[in-house]
Structure 1
Amino acid sequence: MPVIRRIRLRTVLSTVAALFLVVTVFKINWTPAPASVVVPNTAFEVPLPERQNVFWKAFKPILEAHSPNCPSPLHEQDVEAAHFNVTTADARPDLTFMDEPNVVEMQDAHAHFLDDIADKKKIRPVHAPGTRGIVSTAGGQYLPVFLATLRMLRRTGSELPVEVYMKDASEHEKSICEEVLPKLDARCLILADVMKKDFIEHYQLKVFAVLLSSFEEVVWMDADCFPLQKPELLLDSETFKSTGLITWPDFWETTVSPLYFRISKQEEPPMNARQATEAGAFVISKKSHLRTLLLSAYYNYYGPSHYFRLLSQGAPGEGDKETFLQAASALGEPFYAVSERVQAVGHPAPGGMSGSAMAQSDPIQDHDLVSKGLLRVVDPSVAEAPRIFFIHANYPKFNPGGNVWGTEFETAPTVRPDGTLGRAWIFPEDVVQRFGYDAEKAYWEELKFISCDPGIEFQTWVSKVETCRKVEQYWGEVFAEPHEDDFQWST
C-alpha cells in the first residue's frame, strides 16, 4: 500500500508540475494585443435627446430672429388645379398680393436667415455621420397605417432602421412603441420633448422630424406611403449620390407665386420646367443638404402665416410639399426631380375611375431614361415606363378601424360599383402591371395581421374584434380564392 501511495503521489506532483510549466510558458509567450485606436465620435457618444435639444436651442433663435415681420400675403381666390403640361409654358398664376415694403421686408429676412445658416459653427446637426434610415410621422388614426407601411417595408428585405415621430405624448401608444415596433427595428420619438411649447402642426411636422432624426441619409415616407422595392437601392444609387436630394411629382402644374421668387432672389422658371412636388416620399442627405432642410424648416415655421400661400396659392395639398425642392433651388443645391408622371390607381367606377392611391416611379430607371434623352413626360412611347417604387395609399387612409369600408369615403376603395366587395387597385392595368407583383394583396395581408394579432391594440379603434371581423370577411371574399377581378400578371 505505501508503494502504491508513493507512486500516486509522484504522479500527482508530476501532473501539477506539468500544468504549472504550461501555464508559465503561456504567460511568458502571451502578450496582450495592442489597444485599438479609438477615434472619438461625439455624435455617437452624446445621447440623441441631448443632441436634439442642443440643435433646437441653437436653431429656434435663428428662426425667430428672421421672422417675416409683416402681414400675411393677401389673396382673393385660390388657383384652379391644372394638370401639368410639359409642352406648353402657361403664364404663372399671380393671385397673391403684398405691398412693396412688405416684399422688401420678407426679402431681407430671407437673406439674413441664409447668412446665419451659412455659418456652420452656429448649428450643430443632430445626425450621426455615416448613418442612414427611414423617417416618418404617425399618431392617432395614422398609427395603424404606419404599422402596415412598416411591415410592407420589411417585406422588401430592407434592413434600414426606422424612426417615427409623434407630435406629443398624447399620440404615444406604449404597447405599440415599446413592444410592437422594436421587433421591426423601429422606435417612437416625440417632437414635443424637444420643441416643448413651440408646437407645430400637421404638414410642419415633417421637416422637423427629418432634422431631429439621428440619420445622415434619410428616406422619408409618409405613414401611408410604402415601398415596393428596398429603399437601400435609392441610397446606393448614383442618382442620389450625385445630387443628395430626390423628389417625386404631383399631378399638377407648379403654382409658386412670382412674389416668392422675388423674396428668394431667384429667376422665375418656366411653368413647364417640372411638375409640382408630391412630398409623400423624398430622399435627402444631411451631409450635402443640411442648409436645404434648414431653409425648408424656415418656410414651414412661417408656412401658415406666409410661405405656404406663396408656394402654392391655394393649390391642392397646399402645405410643406413645395418647401424642400424650392429651398434647394433657392440655395443652388442640386436635386433630382423625378420626371415620370405620378399615376392615380383605383378601380373602375361610373364615368371613369375611383382612385385611392398614387403610384410613384423608380427614380433610378427614370434618371437612366432622362440621361439618354428619352423623355416619357413628353412622349410616353419613346421608352418603356419605369417600375413603380412607392405606393401612396392616401385617399382614404387604409386604416382598418377607419373609413376604408363601404361607401363611408367618397372613393369607396373596397366596394365595386354594384355594391359587392372588390379590389381597390386594378386600374389602369398598365400601371398596376408596373408594381411587379400583387402588392395590393400583400398590403391587405399586412392589414389583416395588424387587425387580428392579439398583441396589437390601437387606442383609436373602437373594437378590435369588429375590425378583425371586417378585414377577415373582406379577405375571404376578395383574396382567399381566385376572383373575377384578380389582376392577370404578365410573365
Structure 2
Amino acid sequence: MYSIAVNFRSKKALHRIFCTGIAAFGLCLFLFDIGLDEHLTHGNLSVYQTLAIPFFGFKVATRNVSDTWLTFPNTLSSLKKPVREKWKLLGNLSDYECVAWRQTQKCTPDAPLEAEYNSSCDTAITRGVSGYCEIRHRENGTIVRVLEMHCKSLRKRVKIRCSDFQLYLGYGPPALTYIHDTPKIAFGICTTRKPDWSKNTTELAARHTLHQRDGIVIVIHDRVLESAYASLRSLRLLGCILPIELWYKPQEIDPKVDPILVKILTTKLINNVTIRAINDQRIKKFYTKLHAVYYSNFERVLLLDADNFAVRDPAYLFDSEAFGETGAIFWPDFWHPRKSIFNIHPASFVWDLLELDYVDMFEQESGQVLIDRCRHRRALNAMMYYGLNSKLLQRTRIVWGDKDLFRFAWMKTNSTFHMIKRPPGAAGLLNGHDIFCGVTMVQYDPNNEIIFLHRNTEKFTSTENRYTWYHIQEFYPTNVGASLADYVVRGANGGKHFPQFKRCFGKDFSYEGIFTVKSVRQYHFAGLEKQLIECLYEVIPNATVVMQSTQQTGIRSDRAI
C-alpha cells in the first residue's frame, strides 16, 4: 500500500514537472515571437533571416537571405535547344520547306514517334500533344526539326501550324536590329542637358541628389483618371518634387474639357505636371506605356501605372546601388516557372517565338519600371519592336499586354537589369476564418522595404470606392528549410467569403510559416488609403465611400480609419 502511494505521488510530481516545462516552453516561444518581430524590421530584413527550430532546447539559426528564402533551391533547366545552336543548323529560313508534323509520345519531343498521328503541315497543333515540325532544305535535302513542342508548350485555345514555321521562327531575330525612330528624336536629350526640370530642384538639393533628368511617367485614359489624380496628390503630399509626364490618346480624352484633367493642370496642389499626346495610331492599349517611356523627355524614367501608389517619396530609387549598376530595375509578378497562370516555364512556346534562351526567374509586373533611357537605347528599340508587332504575341497568347515585354527586350539585347528579389505581397482583407483576399499588389524596393501598393483589381471610380487595405500579407517564411519555391499564391474569385470582389490574389489559407498577415496599423502607411480617398473628394465630391461591413462579411476591423 505504501509503495503504491509513493508511485502515485511520483507520477503526479512528474506530471506537474512536465506541465510546468510545457508552459515555460510556450512562454519562451511567445517572448521569442515578440522579439522576432522587433529584430526583423524592414531595415535589416535584407541581411538576415531568423528561424525558430521547434524542439526542447531550441536555438536560433541565422542565415543570409540571399542564400535562403529569396532563392530557388533547384534551378529548372531549359527544355529547349540554345538559340545559337538552333540557328547554326538552320541558316536562311527561306531555303526550307515544310514536310510534316511529327507527333511523339510521353509529352516530350525527344520521345519515340507516334507514327499513326503524323500529319500534314496544315494540321492544327494544340496544347496536350508533343512533337515537332519537320522541314527540309530545298537544295541539299537536309531534314531539320523545329518548333519542338511539349504537351504544355502552348496555352489553351491556341493553335499553330507547321506550315507557318517561317512566321514563328522569323519573329524573334529582327528585334535585335530594329530601330523605332531616329536617335535625335527619341534620345536627343541624352546629349544635350537642359537645366531646371523642376522649379523646386534647389529645395531638394540639400537633402537629396536629384538628377535633373529624372521624372515620373504615367499613362492615363478615361477609366483611371480618378486614380491618377489621387496618385499625383499623394506623391506631392509625400514630398516628391519629381516632374511628371501624363501621356494620353486624343481619341480617348480631351484635356481641355475633362474636369479631372483640368483640375490636375490648374490646381496649385499638384505642380510640375506636363501632359503629352500619343498621336501614333498604331499604339493602342497596353503598348501606350512603351511609347511613353520611349519618347519621354526624361533621361531616367520611373514608369508608374495610374493606380499604383507609392508609400514614400520614390525619388531615392534613382540613387539606389542596383539602379546605378544596371540602369534598369524591374519588379516581379506573383508568378514564376513553378506556378504560372501565363504558361511561362521551361517548355513554353515563348522561348521559341522570341528566340530567347530560358531563364529561371519570376515573371515581370510592369506597374512600375525604372529605366535609364540613355543607357538602354538598344533594349528600348527591341521593346518597341515587340509592341508594334504584337499581333503574333496576342494570337499565341504568350504574353499578357506589356507585362513581360520589358524584361524580354532586355534579355534579347543582353542588357543589364535588376529584378527585385523579394516577391510581391498583397494588401486586402482577412475574415474571421483567417481566410485572406488580396486586392492590391505590394511591391518592395531593393532593400526589401515596401514602396508601392498597386491597386490593380479594386480601382478608384467616380461613383463608388471601397476601403480595402485592412491587412498586409507578406512572404516571410519561418519554417525550417523554406525557400522561394514555397512562394505559391493563386488568383480566384472572392467566392462565398468575399462575394464583393471579382478577384482575390495571395495565399488565401494555410499560409502560416510561409506568409505573415498583419494589420495595416503595424505599417507606417496605415493612413494612406484614407488620404487617397479624401483626395478624391476634391474631384468627385458625390462619390460613395464603402466601408467593409465587419458584421456582414466577418472582416476583421483592426485598422485605422
User: Normalized against structure 2, the TM-score is what?
Assistant: 0.53
Matches within 5 A, 1:366-385: none
The corresponding residue for 1:162 is: 244
Change (3 A) 1:112 1:139: closer
The corresponding residue for 2:440 is: 357
The corresponding residue for 2:261 is: 177
Amino acid at match of 1:235: F
Cα contact 1:251–1:276 (8 A) shared by 2:
yes
1:441 corresponds, among 511, 515, 527, to 527
Cα contact 2:124–2:160 (8 A) shared by 1:
yes
| Secondary structure of the structure 2 residue equivalent to 1:328 | helix
Does residue 1:248 correspond to 2:331, yes or no? yes
Does residue 1:347 correspond to 2:429, yes or no? yes
Change (3 A) 1:446 1:262: closer
| Secondary structure of the structure 2 residue equivalent to 1:226 | strand
Cα contact 1:141–1:402 (8 A) shared by 2:
no
Residue 443 of structure 1 deviates from its aligned partner by 2.4
Matches within 5 A, 1:119-138: 124-125=186-187, 127=189, 129=193, 131-138=213-220
Matches within 5 A, 1:218-257: 218-254=301-337, 255-256=343-344
1:94 corresponds, among 149, 153, 166, to 153
CA distance in 2, matches of 1:342, 1:143: 25
RMSD: 4.1
CA distance in 2, matches of 1:387, 1:189: 32
Cα contact 1:136–1:165 (8 A) shared by 2:
yes
Matches within 5 A, 1:364-443: 365=447, 386-399=448-461, 401-402=463-464, 404=466, 430=516, 437-443=523-529
The corresponding residue for 1:297 is: 384
| Secondary structure of the structure 1 residue equivalent to 2:403 | helix
Change (3 A) 1:444 1:76: farther
Amino acid at match of 1:187: T
CA distance in 2, matches of 1:276, 1:236: 25
Moved more, 93-102 or 201-210: 93-102
Residue 434 of structure 1 deviates from its aligned partner by 8.7
Q: Deviations over 1:112-140 (max 9, x none)?
A: 45224399768642646551111111221
The corresponding residue for 2:110 is: none
Q: Deviations over 1:415-470 (max 9, x none)?
A: x9799xxxxx9x9994657997453522222322322x3xx36xxxxxx43x1xx3
Does residue 1:187 correspond to 2:274, yes or no? yes
The corresponding residue for 1:86 is: none
Cα contact 1:169–1:190 (8 A) shared by 2:
no
Moved more, 432-441 or 167-176: 432-441
The answer for unaligned runs of 5 or more in structure 2 is 1-93, 95-122, 129-149, 194-211, 338-342, 469-491, 501-505
Residue 327 of structure 1 deviates from its aligned partner by 0.4
CA distance in 1, matches of 2:521, 2:364: 22
Change (3 A) 1:341 1:187: same
Change (3 A) 1:93 1:328: farther
The answer for unaligned runs of 5 or more in structure 1 is 1-68, 79-90, 366-385, 420-424, 458-463
Q: Deviations over 1:32-54 (max 9, x none)?
A: xxxxxxxxxxxxxxxxxxxxxxx
Residue 224 of structure 1 deviates from its aligned partner by 0.6
Change (3 A) 1:485 1:121: closer
Residue 486 of structure 1 deviates from its aligned partner by 3.1
Cα contact 1:117–1:123 (8 A) shared by 2:
no
Cα contact 2:430–2:556 (8 A) shared by 1:
no
Amino acid at match of 1:237: S
Does residue 1:485 correspond to 2:557, yes or no? yes
Change (3 A) 1:227 1:262: same
CA distance in 2, matches of 1:120, 1:168: 24
Q: How many residues align?
A: 346
Matches within 5 A, 1:55-70: none
CA distance in 1, matches of 2:124, 2:276: 37
Cα contact 1:225–1:393 (8 A) shared by 2:
yes
Larger strand fraction of residues: 2
CA distance in 1, matches of 2:372, 2:388: 21
Does residue 1:266 correspond to 2:356, yes or no? yes
Residue 164 of structure 1 deviates from its aligned partner by 1.2
| Secondary structure of the structure 1 residue equivalent to 2:527 | helix
| Secondary structure of the structure 2 residue equivalent to 1:294 | helix
Change (3 A) 1:432 1:243: farther
CA distance in 1, matches of 2:230, 2:151: 40
